[in-house]
Every structure is written in C-alpha cells, then in structure tokens.
Amino acid sequence: MPMSYISLSDKEKKAMLDAVGIASVGELFRSIPEGVRLDRALSVPEPLSEPELTSHFEKLANHNRYSDFLSFLGGGIYPHFIPALVDYLASRGEFVSPYTPYQPEVSQGTLQAIFEFQTLICQLTGMDISNASLYDGASGAAEAVLMASRINRKTKILVARSLHPHYRQTIATYIRNLGLTAREMKVTPAGTLDLEDLESGLDEDTTAVIFQSPNYFGVIEDVAAISEIMHRHQALSIAVVTEPVSLGLLQPPGLQGVDIVTGEAQSFGIPLSFGGPVLGFMACKNEFIRQLPGRIAGQTRDVDGKRGFVLTLSTREQHIRRERATSNICTNQALCLLRATIYLETLGRNGLRSLAHINMQKAGYARQLLTGLEGVRDVFGGPVFNEFVLGFDRPWEEIAAELRDAGILGGLALGPDYPEWAGCALMCVTETHGKDDIDRLAAALKEALS
C-alpha cells in the first residue's frame, strides 16, 4: 500500500500537471485578477530546523513564571491535582485524532464518553438532561439566558452582581441585539444575592434570574429560596457553578428547584494553562429538552439489537433548524470532556466527596488563620466552599507586590470589577495547598502588614 502522507516529489507534481494539461501550479490560480495578486513572498521568517524550532519554543515557554510561585488565585478557574491516568488515557491516538462523531458507526468510543459525561453531569447537578458540553462557563451562562427566554418568551433577565464579572459581560454581549434586557441584582453585606432586590425587580416580563453558587466571592447562596421566588412569579431559576468540585459536598441545584444549571467543568482534570481551553456544561429539566442548545448524545440499539450511541435530537440544531435553531454552536469540547469524564470516574463518588471536604477544610483553615492576623478582616462572614474574600488595613496592590516578591500570588484584587470592595482580595485554597503553604502565606501577609 503506497504511503499517502509524505510530500509530493517534483516528478509526481509534473505527472499531475501533465494529467490536467497545464505547465505550472501558478496556472491553477489564473482566475485571480492581476490587480489583487501579491507578487512577492509572504513576510514570515525563514523556516527553522527542528533543533532551532525546539530552542525557540523553549525560550518562549520560559517566559512563564507561574510555576515559580505559590498561587492562591481562583476566580472561575481552579488549581486541582490531575491524576496521571487522565493524561495517559486522553492522549491515546484513538481519542486525540478523530473528528466529530457524526458517523456513529465509526465513533462509538467518543459517543460513549459523551454519554457518560452527560450522565455524570446529571448525577452531580441533580438535573434530568445534559448536553455534550459547551466552550466554557461564560458562553454557557449566555446560552442559558437565551434558552430561558425561548422557553417562556419573556425578555427581561435578572443577573446577580455576585455572578462572575466575565460571565456578566458575556451575557451582555450575547443579548445586545436580541431584544433582551438585563438588570443587575444587588449583593447583600453577607455577600449573597439580595432576595428583596430580586423580588422587587421581578415583573410579568421577567424570564429568569441567573446567579452563581458558590458565587464569585466564594459564598454559598440559598438556592432553594431563589428558585422559590422565581417560580412564584412564573419565571425560571438558572444556577451557574464555576467550581463543580463543590457539587461533591453541596446539595445539587436540581434538588433546589433550579430549572437550568450551567457552568465550568475545568476543575475536573483540565489544567489552568493560560486560561483555557476549559469546559462548559449545561443541564436542564426534562420538559425543556427541546430548548437545550448544543449536541446531545443518546443511547439506542443498532440493527442487531446491540446497545449503541448516537448524536440525537439534532432538529434543535442549526444544520436543520437554521435561523430558528436553539443556538449557533455546532461543536463540543470533546477532548476536555473526555479528560473530565476520566477524572470523575477515577475519583468516583466517594473520591469527589472526599476531595470537596479537603478543599472546604483547607479553605476554612486558611480563612481562620488569616483573619486572625492583625490588619486582616473577613469581608462577608457567611459559609464558603474553597474561596473567600479578605479586607486589609493596607492597600491590596502594595500587599500583593510584597507577596509577589516573596514568591506568592496571594489573591485576586476585587477592585477592578467591584469598586465597592476596592482593596479587598479573593483567595482560593484547594487540595493543592499544603498546610505549610498556607502557613507561609500567613507569615508573608503578617510581614507585609507589619
């Protein structure tokens, strides 16, 4: 069998040109007018040899100093330990190389993984149906808002201020020309969604509220109370989860009246990288299945009666519904989805619960230790998962600079997104932080505040 994947030789090229009756490759482009031809080589550097190229990329990669630091940064993307099994299985050629599973007869492995992921998401969120993933939590939040509006045909969306700033921005971008309006719901002094503001902000044209729990400040919301208020006014409850490890411990949104759950599954086996790629997920109640955007894998039987998997309910999608489709997304994050599935199945139910416990306890220890320091205060006070906000007697920018000099990325400044909490910082503590790491932060913070 001839090798098909090596470059053409000049002899092979000449044979092809002769076969179509032209003298040069340039003649194939003769329909392009003279006036728009470049007539010179592209302004790109000369090719590099493999050793030169390797050296070039190594120099670029060495600009990354993140691994030099002890980091307590969270804010929507979280540092978690990834078992070697995830990289090992997910980098198998059978998983890394195939294209989208449109042909079920050659894609059963991929489709089974998607089906398992969907099942896991439903188990974790307590919802009936999940899609095959979206790009990220932010676009998931925007899609959820559009979905709610399609379901009840109402046009006002209430957006919690305690929802991640990037997600709020993304929602605003998506709804800009679609006749939907957003109204922001206040944050209470306890760091939660203001339920009174929510109830007074509702009217008969409100489609839903979209909120996050644990929210951007790490605070756990009263999800059931929010859902109850919305349903009493014939509107929907959309919960966003940016840290799904919390679902290993907290009650699932589906058991708290939530209609649509969406968010970020990056915590399940996907590295931080430079902020991506990540993994959006979305799940809903059974009655809304036809309004769910994205792909859905379904279980069925083949002609011999054997179980198999296919992409299903495709009539929601744009290749059939065109401008009336549920979304213009025509993809899913297959490889990240696979990593998340392997990660969750490696941990198992008990492992995830254990992991969630560890996260919560370590964050609790850090919070207690740090607020015990002079000049540090607990800003919100309520129950948190693995993130919390601290206030300081000295401008955060100054503290952060000193911590950086000590090799520590102490926390995310809240000021840029929340001027009302300027000078405060969001700290994240996970199972990747040892007691000695937390103690080191406390010592450096004490030093910076002395």
Partner 1 sequence: MYPENFFYTKDHEWIKIEGDEAVVGITDFAQKQLGDVVFVELPDVGAELGFHQSLGVVESVKAVSDIYSPISGEVTGVNESLNDSPELINEDPHGEGWIIRLKIKDASEQEKLMSVDEYEKFLEGLED
At residue 26, the 3 state secondary structure works out as helix
Binding residues with partner 1: total (CB under 8 A) = 5
The position carrying tokens 């305690």 is 162
Compute the least distance from the CB of residue 147 to partner 1, in Å: 15
Among 37, 232, 321, 435, which residue interacts with partner 1 (rule: CB under 8 A)?
A: 321
Q: Rounded to a whole number, what is the distance in angstroms from the first to the last CA of the chain?
A: 75
User: Which residue number, 59 or 153, has a Cβ lying nearer to partner 1?
Assistant: 153
Among 320, 330, 401, 443, which residue interacts with partner 1 (rule: CB under 8 A)?
A: 320
Give the interface segment with partner 1, choosing from 319-327, 332-340, 342-350, 383-391 (CB under 8 A): 319-327
In this structure, what token pair is assigned to residue 63?
A: 């600009």
Compute the least distance from the CB of residue 105 to partner 1, in Å: 17
Compute the least distance from the CB of residue 262 to partner 1, in Å: 24
The secondary structure element, H or E, covering residue 225 is: helix 223-232
The DSSP 8-state label assigned to residue 23 in this structure reads: S
The position carrying tokens 């089906």 is 115
User: Which residue number, 321 or 404, has a Cβ lying nearer to partner 1?
Assistant: 321
Which residue from 294, 299, 306 is spatially nearest to 337, judged by alpha carbons? 294
User: Which residue number, 159 or 284, has a Cβ lying nearer to partner 1?
Assistant: 284
- Rounded to whole angstroms, how far apart are CA atoms 112 and 104? 10
The position carrying tokens 């406390």 is 442
Compute the least distance from the CB of residue 318 to partner 1, in Å: 11
User: Which residue number, 231 or 319, has a Cβ lying nearer to partner 1?
Assistant: 319
- Rounded to whole angstroms, how far apart are CA atoms 219 and 385? 7
- Rounded to whole angstroms, how far apart are CA atoms 294 and 204? 29
Give the interface segment with partner 1, choosing from 55-63, 180-188, 220-228, 314-322 (CB under 8 A): 314-322
Judge whether 90 and 96 are in contact, CB under 8 Å: yes
Among 173, 315, 331, 361, which residue interacts with partner 1 (rule: CB under 8 A)?
A: 315
Compute the least distance from the CB of residue 177 to partner 1, in Å: 22
Compute the least distance from the CB of residue 311 to partner 1, in Å: 13
Burial class (CB in 10 A: 0-12, 13-18, 19+), 232: exposed
Which residue from 414, 387, 400, 403 is spatially nearest to 440, judged by alpha carbons? 403
User: Which residue number, 65 or 301, has a Cβ lying nearer to partner 1?
Assistant: 301
Compute the least distance from the CB of residue 109 to partner 1, in Å: 25
Among 290, 349, 357, 435, which residue interacts with partner 1 (rule: CB under 8 A)?
A: 290
Contacting residues toward partner 1, per CB under 8 A:
290, 315, 320-321, 324
